[in-house]
Chains A and B, each alone.
Chain A
Amino acid sequence: MYTQALNAKDASAGTRPEDTARLAVFQSTVDAEDKIEPNDWMPDGYRKTLIRQISQHAHSEVIGMQPEGNWITRAPSLRRKAALLAKIQDEAGHGLYLYAAAETLGVSRDELYEQLLSGKAKYSSIFNYPTPTWADIGIIGWLVDGAAIMNQIPLCRCSYGPYARAMIRVCKEESFHQRQGYEIMLTLCRGTPEQKAMAQDALNRWWWPVLMMFGPSDKDSMHSADSTRWKIKRFSNDDLRQKFVDATVPQGQFLGLTFPDPDLRLDEESGHWHYGEIDWSEFKRVVAGDGPMNKQRMAHRRQTEADGAWVREAAMAHAEKRRQRAAAARIAAE
């Protein structure tokens, strides 16, 4: 999902003997569905996994503003423009909630941000695809945010309190994102033949990359055991992907669109939609940095960061000047 790169194996954290008792308390808290809070003792591996997962999620929200930002000035009406602006502002907010949650684990936002800018930290592969048409904005809301919701609803019950609380806020807002996207698709599909063709073209381009958002297939996924025991992850990648396909196919059919998968069929017995094989080589390529837009996304992020530096510096200098003046006035008054 937004944290696909987590599916790489990481050196397993050794447990010190003196931690055994604390580990037992920690695990029983988790097993009882109680929350772990920032100052509670936690195993190193739990802390590391959360920092990586939450920061990758935050980076994805931040980079995810770019494909949609591409259309703010070209939205087809004032209503659409206002909605798109509000949605993108929400994504910035999601990034901030998540950085704040990560910081409770003892890492600074600046450090995390540095990892994004240096390319050390990953973000979701989905934001490395281009948005050449207005229908792409509909698709992002309907499918990309839709997939994100599927992944994030179980995270609202994650064992780490600050992450769970951030996800509750995020999920409330995502529903607006998905509905506005679907409404764009509906309008296009009920429009002219050219508009409908634009909607179909967008679905053709995005469907497979969206399915990849859920991460590698369970048989190739590394991190699940710890994350499951710690109640960070509650459903496997393939389970979430299946849920998403089952929920989404009927919505696409309602639009009168077809999915670019000749193997897609309803399995009468299980009630699930069976889908074809995902091209994992494409997934690996895009996660590794070689997707259609990786270079541009990172270049844009770094440029924005550099362009904004003087604003942050000026704000800090102004605050410092006011602090000094206030201190001087206090001394003069004494």
Chain B
Amino acid sequence: MTDKTPMPLWEVFIRARSGLPHKHCGSVHAPDATMAVQAARDVYTRRGESVSIWVVPSAAIIASDPNEKDQLFEPTSTKAYRHPTFYDIPDEVGHM
């Protein structure tokens, strides 16, 4: 390899059908966004897996810190009353 400038990395999201959300499926290296979309099509959608592709520069993704997972998500684990099953409804009332 003569050129050592690394090709930018892009995260790829594909929508399987309209009505479904775009879902992360992997990544590709490409010089720019247009070529990233083309590479993503060739790498991740060879069998009609997709009707739409998003590519996002990997460096642009901001993620929560896995080490802070417990603090970050703890508040919801103690709030069982947010779930419908927390409430007792007599059987005679029927489905609710």
Main secondary structure of the interface of B (DSSP, over half): loop
- What residues of chain B lie closer than 8 Å to A103, measured between beta carbons? 9, 27
In whole angstroms, how far apart are the Cα atoms of A226 and B29 in the complex? Answer: 32
Per-residue 0/1 for B1-40: is the Cβ within 8 Å of any A Cβ (1 yes, 0 no)? 1111111010000000000000000111101100100000
In whole angstroms, how far apart are the Cα atoms of A41 and B66 in the complex? Answer: 9
In whole angstroms, how far apart are the Cα atoms of A173 and B43 in the complex? Answer: 12
Evaluate contact between A100 and B26: CB separation under 8 angstroms: yes
- What residues of chain B lie closer than 8 Å to A319, measured between beta carbons? 31-32, 35
Per-residue 0/1 for A295-331: is the Cβ within 8 Å of any B Cβ (1 yes, 0 no)? 0000000000100010011011011101100000000
A39 within 8 A of B: yes
Given contacts A41-B67, A100-B27, contact A108 B6 (CB under 8 A): yes
Number of interface residues of B (CB under 8 A): 24
In whole angstroms, how far apart are the Cα atoms of A256 and B65 in the complex? Answer: 59
- What residues of chain A lie closer than 8 Å to B1, measured between beta carbons? 110, 113-114, 305, 309
Counting chain B CB atoms within 10 Å of each CB, the highest count among A86, A100, A110, A315 belongs to A100
Residue of A nearest to B49 (CB): A169
Evaluate contact between A96 and B28: CB separation under 8 angstroms: yes
A93 within 8 A of B: yes
Q: How far is the CB of B44 from chain A (nearest CB, A)?
A: 8
* Contact residues of A between 40 and 97, Cβ < 8 Å to B: 40-41, 86, 89-90, 93, 96-97
Given contacts A40-B66, A93-B46, contact A100 B28 (CB under 8 A): yes
B80 within 8 A of A: no
Our pick among A40, A41, A316, A322 for the contact of B7 (Cβ within 8 Å) is A316
Q: How far is the CB of B13 from chain A (nearest CB, A)?
A: 14
A-B pairs under 8 A by CB, number: 59
Evaluate contact between A97 and B2: CB separation under 8 angstroms: no
Given contacts A97-B43, A110-B1, A322-B32, contact A39 B27 (CB under 8 A): no
Main secondary structure of the interface of A (DSSP, over half): helix
A109 within 8 A of B: yes
A166 within 8 A of B: yes
Residue of A nearest to B9 (CB): A103
In whole angstroms, how far apart are the Cα atoms of A97 and B44 in the complex? Answer: 9
B60 within 8 A of A: no
In whole angstroms, how far apart are the Cα atoms of A126 and B66 in the complex? Answer: 40
B62 within 8 A of A: no
- What residues of chain B lie closer than 8 Å to A316, measured between beta carbons? 3, 5, 7, 31
Given A173-B47, A316-B3, A322-B32, 16 other A-B contacts at CB below 8 A?
A37-B66, A40-B66, A41-B67, A96-B28, A96-B43, A100-B27, A108-B6, A109-B29, A165-B26, A305-B1, A312-B7, A315-B35, A319-B31, A319-B32, A319-B35, A323-B32
